[in-house]
Amino acid sequence: MFKGVNASDGFGIGVAQVAVAPDVSFTPVAPEDPEKEKQRYEAALEKFVAQTNAQIERMKVSVGEEAALIMGAHIEFAEDEGIHDTVNSSIDAGMCAEQAVSEAYNTYYTMFSQMDDELFRERATDVADVKTGLLADLLGKEVVDLSTLPENSIIVVKELTPSMTADIDKENVAGIVTETGGRTSHSAIIARALEIPAVLSVEDATEHIKTGDMVIVDGSAGDVLVQPSKEDLEAYRAKAKAYADDKAALETYRGKKTITADGETKLLVANIGNPDDANAAAEHDAEGIGLFRSEFLFMDAKELPSEDEQFAAYQKVALRMKGRPIIIRTLDVGGDKEIPYMNLQKEDNPFMGFRAIRYCLNNPDQYKVQLTALLRASAFGDIKIMLPLVTALDEVRKARSLVEECKKELDERGVSYDPDIEVGTMIETPAASLIADNLAEVCDFFSIGTNDLIGYTMCADRGNDRVAYLYEVYQPAVLRSLKRIISEGNKRGIMVGMCGEAAADPLLIPVLISFGLGEFSVSAPSILRTRRIISQWTKEEADVLTEKVLTLKTAAEVKAALQAAAK
């Protein structure tokens, strides 16, 4: 059995089709006529853009608008003036089109692949994909065609590039195995959108697996079995059936309210990263948006997005959610979220450095652009403003006073907004948890960010495998913190939600019900499952379990008790 990253849930059983990328090697030859060489490049570029546009149209039908947009980035790179000029000047300097394209794209590839942030490293894959596409056109080679695979195929590739994924015929593809890519890679996003089980980053998969091999892809656990035994095959067929039955059963929760077994209503909303994700949230039956990570607007840009650009993005979400609540978090820059053009100074410990609300309050003019855009969008929906990484009361006071300044300026401009817009905060630091009583006096709501809260509470980096045993929501220290935050918020009558990954943890949900959590914000595909688990618990049952859990002294004991009680 091979292990990889569990990128898209479900079980795929089928026959391997090992796809090898086209050979785009070439021998550089100095062109006789640079003008003609430039025309060759232009022709390849035109063909590439036309092919990509056609792929985008096909993808809109197969995977939806949102995922199709990923391919838009290819066209942006291909048409980027900087790259264009570099290619043309290299041809003028005596290179053939192949070499000029190769060198220009390699520079960008190296730049993106060396960045700390995974999202930017993903851009490197896009750049390589565009380079291969252009070179294939110049050399007259065919790129991998995944559109005509036999039924029940398991695609095995080194790297599943967005352009390959665009061509996948989801009816015939039972699973995907790659040698590269993480859970947030484009390949993973598209695999999830297509609902094809996928395991990524399986070392040397294209060497271990041969076309024609029988393969099982367990996208939930991240396991790949090659030439499985009869017993394994039977066991996985049973698992696949149970998974499909369960998925179908979840549909009965669509369109229903989110209520506990004894009738307490909860708000079940989605986390999104860009305006288009709001479509997926609505399709998965989210009751609103509990976290819109606005930094993605900044990461995808080459310079700070203007007030109008930001307004357009926030307004799009507001219109899509049709009056349902939307919490938009202001820029959470720094730490694991790097934005190169903002030129933040290198720090020894960026996770504890000049980031998020700290950076924003120190750049009030820049921050006010975002706050103003949010206020303008609040005229079109139930938008709430959320502050990231708060550790001190003054930060909330200062941010609120900037919001008031922005309101006055909008009044002067005669622009409408929601005068009662709510301003709340993420509770994702131990400091915020300890002063939750004070923060609740100046906030309209709390949303607990367990992803960071666990890390800062346990002093365990969320991305460091070696301390993963400490990075657990079941740690008694974390549970005590959650209890405190929720109870302090509830005492003062403000809404307390959770937008960290733990909100969708099936084991933890009864504990959160017992603590009195009011809102659960989860990834869109987790909506129906979370609604079902909430519906299975009464407050009384959840209280009995939680009382016991709070007496336990280790994360392992807590997890075991929750597992034993799971329904």
Name the strands in the sheet holding 223-226, side by side, starting at the edge strand that comes first in the sequence.
Answer: 2-3, 223-226, 214-218, 11-18, 153-157, 173-178, 198-200, 5-8
Rounded alpha-carbon distances, angstroms, from residue 332 to 293, 298, 338, 349, 370 = 8, 10, 9, 16, 12
Based on CB atoms, which residue is closest to ligand PEP, 232 or 501?
A: 501
519 lines the binding site for ligand PEP (CB under 6 A) = no
SS3 state of residue 273: coil
Q: Is 284 a catalytic residue?
A: no
Name the site residues for Mg ion (rule: CB under 5 A): 428, 449, 452
What dihedral angle (degrees, nearest 10) is formed by the CA atoms of 414, 415, 418, 421?
Answer: -100
Based on CB atoms, which residue is closest to ligand PEP, 75 or 344?
A: 344
206 lines the binding site for ligand PEP (CB under 6 A) = no
452 lines the binding site for ligand PEP (CB under 6 A) = yes
Catalytic residue among 96, 360, 443, 499: 499
Q: How far is the CB of 122 from Mg ion (least distance, A)?
A: 20
Cβ atoms of 262 and 231 within 8 Å: the answer is no
How many residues sit in the footprint of ligand PEP (CB under 6 A)?
Answer: 10
Give the long-range contacts of residues 270-276, CB within 8 A, separation 24 or more: 270/521, 270/522, 270/523, 270/524, 270/527, 271/499, 271/521, 271/522, 271/523, 271/524, 272/317, 272/524, 274/300, 274/313, 275/313, 275/314, 275/316, 275/317, 275/320, 276/65, 276/66, 276/69
Binds 499: which of ligand PEP, Mg ion, none (CB < 5-8 Å by kind): ligand PEP
In degrees and rounded to multiples of 5, residue 116 shows phi and psi of -70, -35
**Burial (0-12, 13-18, 19+ Cβ within 10 Å), 531:** buried
Of 327-366, binders to ligand PEP (CB under 6 A) are 332
- Name which position in 450, 475, 526, 530 contacts ligand PEP (CB under 6 A): 450
Interface stretch with ligand PEP, choices 209-217, 338-346, 376-384, 450-458 (CB under 6 A): 450-458
What angle in degrees, to the nearest 10, is found between the helix axes of 476-491 and 555-565? 70
Based on CB atoms, which residue is closest to ligand PEP, 186 or 293?
A: 293
293 lines the binding site for ligand PEP (CB under 6 A) = yes
Q: How far is the CB of 70 from ligand PEP (least distance, A)?
A: 20
Q: How far is the CB of 462 from Mg ion (least distance, A)?
A: 9
Binds 293: which of ligand PEP, Mg ion, none (CB < 5-8 Å by kind): ligand PEP
451 lines the binding site for ligand PEP (CB under 6 A) = yes
Catalytic residue among 74, 96, 186, 406: 186
Based on CB atoms, which residue is closest to Mg ion, 356 or 373?
A: 356
Binds 500: which of ligand PEP, Mg ion, none (CB < 5-8 Å by kind): ligand PEP
Closest-CA residue to 291 (of 454, 455, 466, 502): 502
Of 91-120, binders to ligand PEP (CB under 6 A) are none
SS3 state of residue 224: strand
Give the type of residue at 226.
V
Based on CB atoms, which residue is closest to ligand PEP, 355 or 559?
A: 355
Q: How far is the CB of 450 from ligand PEP (least distance, A)?
A: 5
Which x/- pattern over 418-447 shows residues binding ligand PEP (rule: CB under 6 A)?
Answer: ----------x-------------------
Based on CB atoms, which residue is closest to ligand PEP, 333 or 371?
A: 333
153 lines the binding site for ligand PEP (CB under 6 A) = no
The encoded tokens of residue 47 equal 């063909």
- Name which position in 499, 511, 528, 533 contacts ligand PEP (CB under 6 A): 499
Ramachandran quadrant class, 195 (left: phi over 0; alpha: psi -120 to 50; beta: rest) = left
Closest-CA residue to 443 (of 372, 494, 367): 494
Q: How far is the CB of 315 from ligand PEP (least distance, A)?
A: 22
Please report which helix (H) or strand (E) contains residue 55, including its range: helix 34-62
Q: Is 499 a catalytic residue?
A: yes
Based on CB atoms, which residue is closest to ligand PEP, 21 or 507?
A: 507
The encoded tokens of residue 11 equal 């079980």
Of 303-332, binders to ligand PEP (CB under 6 A) are 332
Based on CB atoms, which residue is closest to ligand PEP, 174 or 327?
A: 327
How far apart (Å, rounded) are the C-alpha atoms in residues 448 and 427? 5
Based on CB atoms, which residue is closest to ligand PEP, 499 or 555?
A: 499
Binds 510: which of ligand PEP, Mg ion, none (CB < 5-8 Å by kind): none
Q: How far is the CB of 519 from ligand PEP (least distance, A)?
A: 13
Binds 450: which of Mg ion, ligand PEP, none (CB < 5-8 Å by kind): ligand PEP
Q: How far is the CB of 456 from ligand PEP (least distance, A)?
A: 9
SS3 state of residue 257: coil
- Name which position in 31, 175, 381, 449 contacts ligand PEP (CB under 6 A): 449
Give the long-range contacts of residues 491-496, CB within 8 A, separation 24 or more: 491/437, 491/440, 492/437, 492/440, 492/441, 494/424, 494/440, 494/443, 494/444, 494/445, 494/446, 495/267, 495/424, 495/444, 495/445, 495/446, 495/519, 496/445, 496/446, 496/447, 496/448
> Who's near 222: CB < 8 A, 6+ residues apart?
3, 4, 5, 6, 7, 199
Interface stretch with ligand PEP, choices 133-141, 155-163, 198-206, 449-457 (CB under 6 A): 449-457
- Name which position in 34, 500, 510, 518 contacts ligand PEP (CB under 6 A): 500
Q: Which residues bind ligand PEP (CB under 6 A)?
A: 291, 293, 332, 428, 449-452, 499-500
Residues with a catalytic annotation lie at 186, 499
